[in-house]
Structure 1
């Protein structure tokens, strides 16, 4: 059977979190860089398909290809380590500390950003023929995304910030479900099918993913979007990172850990009483 029982894949989640804490700086950065780059390419692909077809659902259906590839290749997203690494700390794995967890998160953040930004520059070159022309239709669409999801939130003040944060929470609820889903099967096809579903949901619903945004917003700035770096940081990236942390850890990591790794006491079963047999 290719299906892995929840009690078994939750153990794999904890083991994975522990392994990431002790991974070398070199390997952590390389894996994070590649994850950010591949996800950025998938985002560029999805936006291109959406613009060319006029159907957002088509872009959403195809976007998960990048997510599936990067996890099958063993690369790491910040949204995933937000969910997995704390479990090793909660499980009291030897040598796993708050400091080592924060070190892992910091390195993955830097690697993801470097990878996404590299692709943002490459795609900007393509959209503008090496910055010799105005952005093409896809480049203009990416610029408008950056504006709508920064100053667009800012226009609503605190209500906009709350909306942004909740979208980020819901995003990593789905994305981390995709990360865990890859552990539910031992076959490649099973992993891909399980990962595809929640990633499709998050992308089509327009939830906020900190790594996808590391591509979309720098791209928007390079391509002339009408917002600033400070707008990007305050009205998107920072709240999105925090919301992603809350969503992945609360609704995926801790819930699975609590009910499959540290299950509650089983309720006592009722005692069966002998029923007297009537005499014939």
Structure 2
């Protein structure tokens, strides 16, 4: 079952871009994220209670989980959704955030002693090239300075959050860790909402379906799998899976949103798939 987790993670995480577009069109970004993670918190706490997981652990561990929640759900998601809301081209946001596996692999060596082989670097490079091919960046588009700043902050936040989570894995039960991370994300987005935006949420049909998808499949599904993969595997190999997100999202947009899928997209998808295969291949199979 767990062998299918990487594929399941890619599919669920990539699908977030499909529903996220509908949400931002019907709500201010920080209000939507605060609403989302408020519900996610309740869900994980209920699950932890019925699973007999210890909810109140050491204060130090709780603060650590709250901090990773702020990084993942507050600064990373908040930065991306804010950038979208002020007109930052989605492809450029995706390109910047796609640098995350490269940063993580560079830092995982000195922090965790993980050794990245030259074959893995070849795979990582191919993964990045494939992602850029799919995104088809048009730098002629106007880039809002605040959108660029928010996206760069999002990049560093998800990188730091991933490394921090690897260091803390096992201090709390997974459901409890996710609950406190959701609390951190909810509170942080509430703070940003009160400071920066005239908050609103239009509970349209598309918003309800989009938010339900984000909560159930992305927060309860994809994010939980990500935490599991970070705990069980090397952080470098796990984050390399993110290179598959842009091409997979492009295929999903073609299937569900009737968006165009070009020959270039297909080539990029194939390059990325080969790169991720090389980068995540077990040494014993090499």
TM-score, normalised relative to structure 1: 0.31
Q: Which has the higher contact order (CA 8 A, sep 6+)?
A: 2
Q: Higher Cα Rg: structure 1 or 2?
A: 1
TM-score, normalised relative to structure 2: 0.30
Higher helix share: 2
